[in-house]
Amino acid sequence: MKHLLLPLTTLLALFSDTLFASCPDFLNHSMRKLASTETIQFCEAYEGKALLIVNTASYCGYTSQFESLEEVHQTYGGNGLVVLGFSSDDFFQEDNDEGDAAEVCFEKYDVTFPVIATSAVRGSDANPVFRGLGEAAGYPSWNFNKYLVSPAGEVMEHFSSGVKPDSEEMRAAIEAALPAT
């Protein structure tokens, strides 16, 4: 029995290293959903999926992009894309009341993709996801910056606020990022 313990523990150590090797550090975190007590552990929830990560705000000139982000979510969600919003007040255009911010997302724009509770997305206070995105592809310069992350966790592209989620440029990049089926 003693001889079996060492190989088994070695096998478990190797397996756990392999299991978590595909998840980049910047996604290996749990964060709370907007106006909820539910948290998402990104690596567990989205393993093997492409991610379109967006910093959002309720009172921005680009807030209407929630509509086209939802369209992208509906169009590509079944093909392995997750749209993931991150509420932020870094540009002073997010509601101070989390419930009111959630109302804009989920009631006014009928968003069904996950939106994370309000947090910083740039600078030294940036949440760990946006710290990783910022270091890899540059921090957001305004609300509704979009980051396309491959199923392997590689930051593929960073799109500015002015690039519409349903634009040809964005659709082509998303289609290229989708997991092979």
The per-residue pLDDT for 180 is 80
Cβ proximity of 60 and 93 under 8 Å? yes
The token pair that represents 136 in the structure block: 């890899």
43 as an active site residue: the answer is no
For β-strands 50-56 and 155-159, DSSP reports them as: unpaired
Residue 5: CB atoms within 10 Å: 9
* Element housing 157 (H / E): strand 155-159
Match 């967006």 to its residue by tokens. 54
Identify the CATH number of the domain defined by range 28-177.
3.40.30.10
Q: What is the side-by-side strand order in the sheet with 50-56? A: 115-116, 81-87, 50-56, 146-149, 155-159
Domain residue spans of the chain: 28-177
DSSP code at position 162: T
DSSP code at position 33: B
The per-residue pLDDT for 12 is 40
Q: Which residues contact 54 (CB under 8 A, 6 or more apart)?
A: 65, 69, 83, 84, 85, 86, 144, 145, 146, 147, 165
Task: Give the HSE-up count for residue 169: Cα atoms under 13 Å, Cβ half-sphere.
Answer: 9
Mean pLDDT of the chain: 90
DSSP code at position 180: P
Task: Compare 93 and 179 and report the one with higher pLDDT.
Answer: 93
pLDDT in tens, 104-162: 999 999 999 999 999 999 999 999 999 999 999 999 999 999 999 999 999 999 999 99
Cβ proximity of 96 and 89 under 8 Å? yes
Catalytic residue among 23, 43, 60, 105: 60
% of the chain with per-residue pLDDT over 90: 86
The per-residue pLDDT for 19 is 42
Residues in the chain: 181
Q: Which residues contact 103 (CB under 8 A, 6 or more apart)?
A: none
* Least confident piece of the model among 3-12, 24-33, 92-101, 126-135: 3-12
CA–centroid distance for 40 within its chain: 10
- Examine the pLDDT at 18 and tell me if it is beyond 60: no
